[in-house]
């Protein structure tokens, strides 16, 4: 392990000074210095986002344009997505796969305008992601990394009303729409999506104008800044996997309960990385699956805690876990054999050597509130 003196210095986002001015408690995350919370704390930030609108700095994520004769078709070489059907103005969730069918990363791919394909990848994975894409798609795609842009997420039931006051076209978008729009005097790329289970938007903005956009949104009394702590508890309640915890290169889409990302035309063609393994798991079932657990007693079960069956035999491990502020309940995600994954199955989690009662439940823990149809 390298000493602190030899570790690379942390990067900062264009909003670093704004976080400090707001009293953000800064911590290392994915090679960046980011706020884990602000003065009110994680619990209040979490609940505010569920009830109003939370503003998140996710500028550590990787943003890029893919250029080429047919970048969408090229992407099918490294993902199981059917991009031939991706219409202008829409976004798709997909998975970057290794040749064994394991997940290198999960990412968003969109067509916000007519000048190329826009992708957003996880911050901790972006260097490897872009290297894999460059190697596998050499000669077909040119990767134009957008290092000069920030990324802001506005999430919660008031998000649409807030953003449409500055970007009127945002009100006409539905879940997984993505558009190039002008707002706040800047050229934006806006998607109606996010990582909290709430309605909301992710807004790509030129770095030089990011602090002005951030401050303008925070001037609305319905909006408060939210740190990494609440971002994690919100995504856990929504049952959304976090790369490096619930996903890694040993985990397949089927094991991770992400088989929906293996689109039907691609299943039929079986022309994506790891197709043989994934086809077998779809047909016969995998040896483990991601399950959602309510921990019924004791302390929260954190990542690494063992999962046991009702008789006490260890059958799996927790990959994400914590306290749900919305449900006032301890919750967790983890991998178990399919025979133990049905909702209602009694299990145990081993926390500090002590077995605690748990039960498999249907994910998500808190219902998603995505707006899939206007007026619905």
pLDDT of 1 over the 50 cut? no
Question: What is the mean predicted confidence (pLDDT) over 170-196?
Answer: 98
- Chain-centroid distance, C-alpha 273: 22
CATH level 2 (architecture), domain 288-361: Beta Barrel (2.40)
How do residues 66-98 score in pLDDT, each as one tens digit? 999 999 999 999 999 999 889 999 999 999 999
Confidence at 5, pLDDT banded by 50, 70, 90: very low
Where are the domains positioned within the chain?
A: 1-286, 288-361
Confidence (pLDDT) at 116: 81
Q: Which fold has domain 1-286?
A: Gyrase A; domain 2 (3.30.1360)
Is pLDDT larger for residue 3 or for residue 342?
342
The string of DSSP codes covering 180-201 is EEEETTEEEEEES--SSSSSEE
How many Å apart are CA 95 and CA 103, to the nearest integer? 6
CA angle (17, 231, 214) in 5-degree steps: 35
Confidence (pLDDT) at 3: 40
Count the residues in the chain.
376
What percent of the chain is modeled with pLDDT above 70?
A: 98
Q: Are 30 and 60 in contact (CB under 8 A)?
A: yes
pLDDT of 375 over the 90 cut? no
How do residues 252-307 score in pLDDT, each as one tens digit? 999 999 999 999 999 999 999 999 999 999 999 999 999 999 999 999 999 999 99
Question: What is the mean predicted confidence (pLDDT) over 4-31?
Answer: 90
How do residues 313-329 score in pLDDT, each as one tens digit? 999 999 999 999 999 99
Alpha helices in the chain (DSSP H): 16-21, 42-51, 71-75, 126-136, 159-164, 207-218, 228-237, 264-269, 275-284
Confidence (pLDDT) at 376: 60
């Amino acid at each position: 392990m390298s000493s602190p003196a030899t570790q690379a210095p942390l990067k900062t986002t264009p909003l670093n000074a704004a976080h400090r001015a707001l009293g953000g408690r800064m911590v290392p995350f994915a090679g960046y210095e980011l706020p884990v919370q602000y003065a009110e704390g994680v619990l209040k930030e979490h609940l505010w986002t569920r009830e109003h609108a939370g503003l998140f700095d996710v500028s550590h994520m990787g943003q890029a344009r893919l250029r080429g004769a047919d970048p969408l078709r090229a992407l099918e070489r490294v993902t199981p997505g059917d991009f031939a059907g991706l219409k202008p103005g829409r976004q798709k969730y997909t998975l970057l796969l290794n040749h064994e069918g394991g997940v290198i990363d999960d990412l968003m791919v969109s067509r916000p305008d007519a000048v190329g394909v826009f992708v957003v990848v996880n911050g901790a994975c972006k260097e490897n992601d872009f290297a894999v894409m460059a190697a596998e798609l050499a000669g077909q795609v040119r990767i134009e990394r957008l290092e000069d842009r920030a990324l802001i997420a506005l999430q919660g039931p008031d998000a649409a009303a807030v953003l449409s006051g500055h970007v009127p076209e945002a009100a006409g978008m539905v879940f997984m729409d993505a558009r190039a729009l002008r707002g706040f005097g800047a050229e934006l790329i806006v998607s109606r999506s996010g990582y909290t289970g709430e309605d909301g938007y992710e807004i790509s903005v030129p770095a030089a104008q990011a602090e002005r956009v951030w401050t303008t949104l925070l001037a609305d009394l319905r909006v408060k800044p939210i740190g990494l702590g609440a971002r994690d508890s919100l995504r856990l309640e929504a049952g959304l996997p976090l790369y490096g915890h619930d996903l890694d290169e040993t985990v397949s889409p089927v094991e991770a309960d992400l088989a929906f990302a293996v689109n039907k035309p691609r299943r039929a063609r079986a022309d994506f990385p790891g197709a043989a393994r994934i086809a077998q798991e779809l047909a016969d079932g995998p040896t483990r699956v991601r399950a959602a657990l309510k921990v019924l007693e004791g302390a929260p079960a954190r990542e690494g805690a063992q999962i046991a069956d009702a008789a006490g035999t260890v059958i799996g491990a927790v990959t994400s876990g914590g306290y749900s502020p919305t449900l006032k309940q301890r919750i967790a995600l983890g991998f178990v054999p399919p025979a133990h994954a049905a909702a209602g199955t009694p299990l145990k989690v081993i926390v500090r050597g002590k077995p605690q009662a748990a039960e498999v439940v249907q994910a998500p823990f808190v219902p998603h509130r995505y707006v899939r149809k206007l007026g619905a």
